[in-house]
Structure 1
Amino acid sequence: MGEVVNVLVAFAVIVFVFRWATSGKDSSADGQSPAAILGFRPKTVTQEQVDAIRAMFPDIPADNIRYDLLRTGSVQLTSNKILERGFLPAPPPPYYRVYPRAIPNDPQQQAAQNANQAAAPASTASSSKTSENLITRFHLEDRLSTSGDSTASEPEHKWEEDPSKRQAMLRERKARMVLAARERMLAQQKQQATTS
């Protein structure tokens, strides 16, 4: 019986020492943990995860991607959010206390990034010029005539193990979404023209 008590006491001491030793790593300069500052327990995010999403969606700022990955911990969930919404919300000010902004080398790049953050929630199908820009931006000019067929029967998507297949799948899904949005906008314009 005495040996069991000794083992339990030793185990409790080891757990206490481990927690004490690792608690210093999570604390920031002002003594608060990132979880206390952000309001949630952040997941581990690697630069490769941020770069993978950045390669698929170069217009989304890296801070927005990192903040969403800290919340979800999943490249797939973050990619799906971008595909569904078209943007990721900017991180709140406390995020920058834990993860300071990188100072950009190019002031024009910073101005473009700020403009993208401000314009992100705006609807992408608000005018014909915007839809033409999306068509040319994603190089979908050759698919305009077949866009009705391609969006009608969208296959079910499953997560691929190979990163290149995932990227191709997400690119195709994005193209289908752009073409479907264009069709809806043209139908809406046609309906407005017939009513007026």
Structure 2
Amino acid sequence: MDKSRKKSAVLFVCILLVLGMWMMLSVYSQAAGTNNDEKQAQTIRVGSFEDTFNYVDKNGVRRGYGYELMQALAGYTEWKFEYVKCDWSDCFDKLENGEIDIMGDISYSDERAQKMLFSDEPMGEEKYILYADLSNMDIGMSDFKFMDGKRVGVLMDTEPEIMLTEWENKNGIHTEHVNVNNDNDVEKKLANHEIDAFVFYS
């Protein structure tokens, strides 16, 4: 009789242990599933200049190197991206105000690093090129002095303008800098002869 009771007690304890382990595993699995759902549901707001690196084409499809880079990042983080259109004048304000979470195509500077975080690895390397309006016949290639007094379209207060100024100082040239916000603005100002040349990055 005692042996039978002992067997029953042992069996009862084993059943409780199994049930306890099953409940713990169920809770853990549910918690893990909940965390995964939360991770998958996390939406990151991306500031987009709608330029060469990140834009929507005429068919409504988002394209560009910056967009493809973000999609590759999403494969590791499982983030979902919400693109917020902005231009150079307000993207930084939106980032500081918390209206967007991240943006690309920003050159590193010590001043900016005091206000925002930069990735350890750069997204790429930019080259700045000066393009001129070929319809202006007094613009040549042999002597940089032809640029004296010319109106150059450039995104003001940015790395391209800093490098343009350094190049001008090096070659003893003085030009008038005209602010341009994007590719469409450049085309418009060229067509209206508001600028003679512009700085483009690639």
Report the TM-score when normalising by structure 1: 0.24
Larger radius of gyration: 2
- Higher helix fraction: Structure 1 or Structure 2? 1
Relative contact order (C-alpha < 8 Å, sep 6+): which is higher? 2
- Higher strand fraction: Structure 1 or Structure 2? 2
Report the TM-score when normalising by structure 2: 0.23
